[in-house]
């Protein structure tokens, strides 16, 4: 388990609470997908306020378990909880930032962005139906690229993972055999390959294992200098992962169409849309036992919404649109209450 210490600050007024001017420690746990940006935000927040964020990058399933067990101030998940789960658990869910899941590979002589994959071919690789790099189905989209006669080693997440949920949701959308086989979920039965824990573990394994292919959040590919593939999107165009293609996928998002803003951005239409784009989410209790701590956590995300967009862009995440940030703040004000039933946060 990774535990990292960072920062936290203000932006909203805390109602019916007495807060001190001393530094506050906030605890969160969950998704590894947004860890690079949470770390960057927290470092900047700490410098400005002296407040620290202790975030455990343990995977979405772990974050959900910890917020349910009330051992952290907020949970983080890439796989949003459904409306009935939010109601049962008494949680408020909101998006924090958006990013992209990318296919990364380790094939000698094939540079980053040189490999092109369709969704169906990617699904067949992880299904074990395509087992050689020079398979005709891969070669068809890669004219002029020398692909080795080598066995492919798929690398997947061994822990319960929102990144896996996003990736397998996409594979289920583009491949009937994947949909009727392993299917979509935070944890699935992988037919072939090796498992790594967290985005960090998958990135490390792909770097270590020749002729491997895995899936990670884009920031991990960049930070670890791992080659990534172009993917064919819903419009039939091969696109590269970058801020503009993530933004294109999110352009027509209808955030209010699902409880807790829990929409999917995979396989969206558009010539420039990256096909495995996803928001990542935060979970906090509606009626927290430690309202001061939850208020501090919301201050951190409010500060990040106001001050963190450029930091997100630098790591190739996509900040939330301004209108959506305002909707999220309104949700905090209307749904999160202190012990007296008063709003925890005033806008």
Give a yes or no: residue 249 inside a domain.
yes
Q: Tell me, yes or no, whether 165 and 197 share the same domain.
A: yes
Give a yes or no: residue 275 inside a domain.
no
Q: Tell me, yes or no, whether 176 and 248 share the same domain.
A: yes
| Cβ within 8 Å of residue 333, ≥6 positions away | 343, 345, 346, 347
Single out the residue in 235, 266, 297 at which a domain terminates: 266
Q: Tell me, yes or no, whether 203 and 307 share the same domain.
A: no
Q: Tell me, yes or no, whether 168 and 187 share the same domain.
A: yes
Q: What is the CATH number of the domain that holds 179?
A: 3.40.190.10
Number of independent structural domains in the chain = 2
Give the per-residue pLDDT at 252.
85
pTM of the model: 0.87
Q: Tell me, yes or no, whether 341 and 262 share the same domain.
A: no
Give the per-residue pLDDT at 347.
67
Q: Tell me, yes or no, whether 124 and 257 share the same domain.
A: yes
Closest CA to 311 of 12, 125, 44: 44
8 A C-beta contact, residue 296 and residue 26: yes
Q: Tell me, yes or no, whether 158 and 104 share the same domain.
A: yes
Q: Tell me, yes or no, whether 170 and 316 share the same domain.
A: no
What CA–CA distance (Å, rounded) separates 314 from 133? 33
Q: Tell me, yes or no, whether 317 and 236 share the same domain.
A: no
Give a yes or no: residue 271 inside a domain.
no
Q: Tell me, yes or no, whether 246 and 166 share the same domain.
A: yes
Give a yes or no: residue 227 inside a domain.
yes
Q: Please report, in tens digits, the pLDDT of each residue of the chain (347 residues total).
A: 333 333 333 233 333 233 333 467 999 999 999 999 999 999 999 999 999 999 999 999 999 999 999 999 999 999 999 999 999 999 999 999 999 999 999 999 999 999 999 999 999 999 999 999 999 999 999 999 999 999 999 999 999 899 999 999 999 999 999 999 999 999 999 999 999 999 999 999 999 999 999 999 999 999 899 999 999 999 999 999 998 999 999 988 999 999 999 999 999 999 999 999 999 999 999 999 999 999 999 999 999 999 999 999 999 899 999 999 999 999 999 999 988 888 887 76
Q: Tell me, yes or no, whether 180 and 200 share the same domain.
A: yes
| Alpha helix positions (H), the chain | 35-49, 60-68, 83-89, 119-126, 136-140, 162-174, 176-180, 198-208, 218-223, 243-250, 291-307, 309-314, 322-335
What CA–CA distance (Å, rounded) separates 86 from 189? 26
Give a yes or no: residue 7 inside a domain.
yes
Q: Tell me, yes or no, whether 207 and 158 share the same domain.
A: yes
Across the strands, what pairs with 57?
A: 30
HSE (CB half, 13 Å, CA atoms) of 2? 17
Give the per-residue pLDDT at 8.
31
- Domain residues for 290? 3-99+280-346
């Amino acid at each position: 388990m990774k535990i990292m210490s960072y920062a936290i600050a203000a932006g909203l007024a805390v109602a019916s609470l007495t807060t001190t001017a001393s530094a506050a420690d906030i605890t969160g746990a969950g998704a590894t997908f947004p860890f690079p940006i949470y770390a960057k935000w927290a470092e900047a927040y700490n410098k400005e306020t002296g407040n620290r964020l202790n975030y455990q990058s343990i995977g979405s399933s772990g974050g959900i378990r910890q917020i349910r067990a009330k051992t952290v101030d907020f949970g983080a998940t890439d796989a949003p909880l459904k409306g009935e789960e939010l109601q049962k658990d008494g949680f408020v869910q909101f998006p924090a930032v958006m990013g992209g899941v990318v296919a990364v590979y380790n094939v000698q002589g094939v540079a980053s962005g040189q490999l092109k994959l369709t969704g169906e071919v990617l699904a067949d690789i992880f299904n074990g139906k395509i087992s050689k790099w020079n398979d005709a189905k891969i070669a068809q989209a890669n004219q002029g690229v020398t692909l080795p006669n080598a066995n492919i080693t798929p690398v997947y997440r061994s822990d319960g993972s929102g990144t896996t949920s996003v990736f397998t949701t996409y594979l289920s959308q583009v491949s009937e055999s994947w949909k009727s086989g392993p299917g979509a979920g935070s944890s699935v039965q992988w037919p072939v390959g090796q498992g790594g824990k967290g985005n960090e573990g998958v990135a490390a394994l792909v770097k270590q294992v020749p002729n491997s292919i895995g899936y990670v959040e884009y920031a991990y590919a960049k930070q670890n200098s791992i080659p990534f593939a172009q993917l064919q999107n819903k419009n039939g165009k091969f696109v590269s992962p970058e801020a503009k293609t993530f933004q294109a996928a999110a352009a027509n998002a209808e955030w209010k169409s699902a409880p807790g803003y829990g929409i999917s951005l995979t396989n969206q239409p558009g010539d420039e849309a990256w096909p495995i784009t996803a928001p990542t989410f935060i979970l906090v209790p509606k009626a927290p036992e430690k309202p001061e701590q939850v208020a501090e956590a919301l201050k951190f995300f409010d500060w990040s919404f106001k001050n963190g967009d450029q930091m997100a862009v630098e790591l190739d995440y996509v900040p939330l649109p301004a209108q959506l940030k305002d909707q999220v703040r309104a949700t905090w004000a209307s749904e999160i209450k202190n012990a007296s039933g008063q709003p925890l946060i005033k806008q």
